[in-house]
Amino acid sequence: MNEWIAIGALALVGLLIPLGMMAVSYLLRPSVPETSKRATYESGEIPTGGTRIRFNIQYYMVALLFLVFDIETVLLFPWAVIYRPALESDAVTLLEVLGPMLVFVAILLVGLAWAWRNGAVQWATSPRQVEPEADRP
């Protein structure tokens, strides 16, 4: 039996369980529409402005950094799988199988060090936050 059939079956179950719960809830729950019941929650205040607010640039920086490292982990997986069988077969030396990976990781660590130095993994603070307490109005 193909194993991916079972995985697909679990995906189907994982879809049917939420849908089933939604169906049960649809039958059970009341609907009492009232004015401003659906207003956006802002701690009980009248909501101000839109939601598409400006947010910290940091989220964008770490996402970029993540792309680099995520692709790296994908490339490291095949290496990790063959590493021990390759060594135990005595057909290759340790340097041959470990060396290229060390170079690969080293290049990425240089990249991380560069990003670190440029503040990509340092939480960006606004100028107002950096000011000392006494200078604030």
Partner 1 sequence: MSGASFAPVPLQQDSDTVLLPERVADLTGLGELGVAGELVAAFIAAFFVGNLMLAMTGVAGPWAKRKITAAFTDRIAVNRIGPFGLFIIVADAVRLLSKELIIPENADRPAYDLAPIVVAGSAMLGFAVIPMGSGIQLADPEIGLAYVFAVSGIASVGLVMAGYSSSNKYSLLGGLRAVAQNIAYEIPLVVTGMSVVIFTGTLQLGGIVEAQTEPLITLGGFAIPAWYAFINPFAFGLFLVANFAEVGRNPFDTPEAPTEIVAGYQTEYSSVYFVLIYLGEFLHIFLGGAVIATLFLGGPAGPGPAALGIVWFLVKIWAVFLLTQWLRSALPRVRIDQMIEIGWKGMLVLSFANLVLTALIVGMIA
Stretch 38-97 residues interacting with partner 1 (CB under 8 A): 38-43, 51, 53, 55-56, 58-59, 62-63, 65-66, 69-70, 73, 76-77, 80-92, 94, 96-97
State the Cα–Cα distance between residues 107 and 109, nearest whole angstrom. 5
Site mask for partner 1 (CB under 8 A), range 9-28, x = bound: xxxxxxx-xxx-xx-xxx-x
Check binding of 110 to partner 1 (CB under 8 A).
no
* Residue where the block lists tokens 């879809």: 15
Q: Does residue 104 belong to the site contacting partner 1 (CB under 8 A)?
A: no
Helix (H) or strand (E) holding 4: helix 3-28
Q: Phi first, then psi: what are they for 35, rounded to 5°?
A: -65, 145
Taking CB under 8 A as the rule, does residue 111 contact partner 1? no
